[in-house]
Amino acid sequence: MLIYKILRQSEWDDLRAQGQTAGAPVDIADGFIHFSTASQAAETAAKHFTDETDLTLLALNADALGDALKWEPSRGGALFPHLYGPLRLSDVTWHAPLPLGPNGHEFPIGLE
């Protein structure tokens, strides 16, 4: 199963340069890295990145993250994946731009 992380361009640049990250400021403050499932990603973008451009969507294999990945209740009690450890560039399965269109962020077709 793939899970998804939205990063601002500067955060994506830092991950690529350093090879790992503790996440965005909200992740660091909360003590874990927030991820979304495919069905949660659009709502996450709308709620936390409303008018932001220059975003990158990362996909990671949830099983490959091992015991550091916990599924915990969040919005409305839905279970969200949270990573208790660094996000490593080597764990990224693929990445794609997440442009802001007239009706919100435009996710890649076939997000699973």
Q: Assess if residue 94 is contained within a domain.
A: yes
Task: Supply the pLDDT for residue 110.
Answer: 82
Confidence grade of residue 111 (pLDDT, cut at 50, 70, 90): confident
- Residues 58-95 have pLDDT tens digits of 999 999 999 999 999 987 889 999 999 999 999 999 99
Q: Assess if residue 87 is contained within a domain.
A: yes
**CATH code: domain of residue 41:** 3.20.170.20
List the domain range (segments joined by +) for residue 36.
2-101
**Single pTM value for the model:** 0.94
Residues 44, 36: contact at Cβ < 8 Å? yes
**Structural domain total, the chain:** 1
Element (H, E) at 105: strand 104-105
Residues with Cβ within 8 Å of 71's Cβ and at least 6 positions away in sequence, in order, are 79, 80, 81, 82
Give helix then strand counts, H and E, for the chain. 3, 10
Residues 22 and 25: their CA atoms lie apart, in Å, by 9
Q: Assess if residue 85 is contained within a domain.
A: yes
- Residues 1-42 have pLDDT tens digits of 999 999 999 999 999 999 999 999 999 999 999 999 999 999
Q: Assess if residue 109 is contained within a domain.
A: no
